[in-house]
Structure formats: structure tokens, C-alpha cells
Amino acid sequence: MSKGLDVPDPSSNKIRAAILGASGYVGAELVRMLSRHPNVEIVVLTAERRAGQPLAAVYPHLGDLGMPDLLKIDQVEWGGLDVDVVFCALPHGTTQLVVAGLLHATHHSLVDELVADNTEDAISALPKSVKVVDLSADFRLRDLEVYREWYGHAHQAKDLQKNAVYGLTEFSREAIAGALLIACPGCYPTTTLLPLVPLLEKALILPYDIIVDAKSGVSGAGRSEKEANLYAEVAEGMHPYGLGGHRHAPEIDQELSVAANEPVTISFTPHLAPMSRGILATTYVKLADGATARDLHAALVDRFESEAFIRVLDQGAVPATRHVRGSNFCQMNVFQDRVPGRAILVSATDNLIKGASGQAIQNMNVAFGFAETVGLEARPLFP
């Protein structure tokens, strides 16, 4: 008997979730939030390098949640787990094979031949209704040539890619509700796209000369042991990176081009800021003929006023990452530039929540018919 969206298990009234990649920061945030979600039970946690350890050894702050110990992905015995949803918080590039494997047995028509050969038997026990919420970049780019260019290798799950839905929740609820595979946007694209898409759709700004100067906290680089992310390397300083070409730029272009109905190429420069969490995007745009910053503000208010997580601030109020930290909110506002014909958009999110795990849960809520805000009610933690 299948479980899932329409027929939740009456005995528990909960869907059953697996989190792949639970030892990263995004995985930890998924655990933290889903452990209190009234409609979710976490039944599997994987972490390749930390497999065999209890969660307390990896994340002491989550040590008392009664979670299962960490496994390697290939140690999971999917049969009998009755998993309804799989969250993939795996490194870019490795996800596509894992997801293909997960879905092969039940949706083999979607899985490429080659991949299928490698993955067939592993997980044939997965129920057909399982949904995958992916937090990597693997299924975000619809144009597989663009994928190849930026990630350096051919996509290995092309048919799956075609069926993935780009999960910027506020813009794609209908598709998300019916999706098998939801590709959650990156933290930079989420923060950048939220104010830009409605303004391009309404043609209130020009679709060129868009400049995004983004500032990210260090957790965006994950928990990997790199010299560049050491405390003494990061504290008390700032610098840009990925100059002239960051992997998130084509993802932003893709969505802006849809909104503008013409090809858009943005200038996008990320910066590393000495903070653990938070993304601030300062976006410089040119106003369409006749439009004012006030018009832009009104359009954003209008577009987002019924959204639970989007806060278009009152005119003059300034978004700040510390005012969304620990929450699924996005703050935004519009300012008239001193240069005539220009406006400045400012948007802020918590990169680990609205930029990753929170939006993933929001998408899960949509996909399984729960209230969209369930499990995501936490207010920002300040100071």
C-alpha cells in the first residue's frame, strides 16, 4: 500500500523522510527543523565520511533529538522504510547519480540507460510515490549545455533533468505540487530572484545592465575543511570571489530570462563576509521608461502581500541579514538611486534556511499538501 501526499499513513499521520548528507550545515538545519515538523518523521540520515557515528558526535546541538545514527547511502536498506520524501543535501555533481538511482526502480523511464545499469537493484524497494527534494545544483539548469559549461562534465541524468521543477516556491507552487523531483534554488539565486522576477515580469525595469553585488556568510561554503574558510582567514575582512563568472549566475539568468521573456545576462559578484549566516543582495537596475522606485515598491508589495515569508519593508526601511537570521523570511526593499533612472533593490535571507533547508521544507509542504508554513514558523534570532 502506498503512502504519501494523498494517503498519509493514518497510524502516524506523518510522512517519512530521509536526509542524505546530514553532516553538512544544510543537512543539520533540515534535521533541526524537520524534527519539530508535526507531519514528518525522520527515518534515515546519511553522511559518507561520518557514517557509523551518532548525530551527537557530528552536531552536539542536535544530540538529544533521538535521531537515527548516520549511514552511508549504500548502507540504507530502503525496503521496509516506507520513505515518502528524500532530501538530498549532497555535493554538486554527486547528486544526479544518487537521485537517478533513487528514482530508477520506480520511474525507470525517466532514468538514463547508463545510470540505470549502475543503480538498478539498490533501491527497488522505494515506493512509487516517493518525492525527491534536491538542494544541490544538479537539476537547476534546464539547458544541459550550460550545465556542461559550468560544471565541467556532461549531465548524467538528462531525462530526470527534464522532469525537475525549479523550486522557488513563491513562483512555482502548482508545478511543485505535482513534481517528482524538486530542484531547490541556490541561496544566491533565491535572494536575487525574489525581487527581480516580479519587476521583470511587469517590465518595470530594463532587462539589461542588471548588476548584482551579493554578500554571503561563510556557511554558504559548507563545512568543508578548506584553508580559505578558517576563522583566522575570514574574520574581520571582506573580499569578492568568483569574479566574472560564478556558477550561480547562469541559474539566475535562466529564471530572469523567463520572467523577462527575453535573454537576460546579469553581472553577478559574490563576496565573502565575516559572518556565519546570511545573504545580502544589492541589485542595481535601470527603471523602465516612466517607472519610478515607488512604482517598483508598489509592485513588490502587491506581488508579495499574501506571501507568508516575503517581507517587503516600508519605504525607507533597510533589509539586513541579521533581521532574517534563523528564519525562512526574505526581507526586501526598493530605493531610488541618486542617478536618475536607476533604482537599487536590497534583499536579505538566511542562506541556510530560505536559501536552502527552509525553502526545501516549504517545497515539501507544498508537495504534500501541508500548510506551507508548517515547521517554518521560527522568527529571526537577534541579536
Beta carbons of 101 and 118 less than 8 angstroms apart:
yes
End-to-end CA distance of the chain: 48
CB 240 to a copy of itself: min, Å: 6
Strands (E), 114-202: 131-134, 164-166, 181-183
Beta carbons of 332 and 345 less than 8 angstroms apart:
yes
Helix axis angle, 187-201 relative to 293-304, nearest 10°? Answer: 110
CB 362 to a copy of itself: min, Å: 17
- Nearest of 270, 89, 118, 94 to residue 183 by alpha carbon: 89
Phi and psi (nearest 5°) for 63?
-70, -15
What the block records as the C-alpha cell of 4 is 504519501
Which residue(s) pair with 285 in the sheet? 343
127 versus 242: smaller Cβ distance to a copy of itself: 242
19 versus 157: smaller Cβ distance to a copy of itself: 19
Q: Which of 88, 184, 187, 330 is catalytic?
A: 187
Question: What residues have CB less than 8 Å from 214, skipping those under 6 apart?
Answer: 188, 191, 192, 268, 269, 270, 271, 279, 280, 281, 282
Phi and psi (nearest 5°) for 67?
-80, 155
Which residue(s) pair with 41 in the sheet? 16
What the block records as the C-alpha cell of 54 is 551518532
51 versus 211: smaller Cβ distance to a copy of itself: 211
7 versus 208: smaller Cβ distance to a copy of itself: 208
CB 350 to a copy of itself: min, Å: 10
Distance CA 297, CA 317 (A): 12
58 versus 126: smaller Cβ distance to a copy of itself: 58
CB 368 to a copy of itself: min, Å: 22
CB 30 to a copy of itself: min, Å: 12
CB 103 to a copy of itself: min, Å: 31
Distance CA 133, CA 219 (A): 20
Beta carbons of 353 and 10 less than 8 angstroms apart:
no
Catalytic site includes residue 330: no
Cβ atoms within 10 Å of 229's Cβ, excluding its own: 16
Catalytically active residues are 187
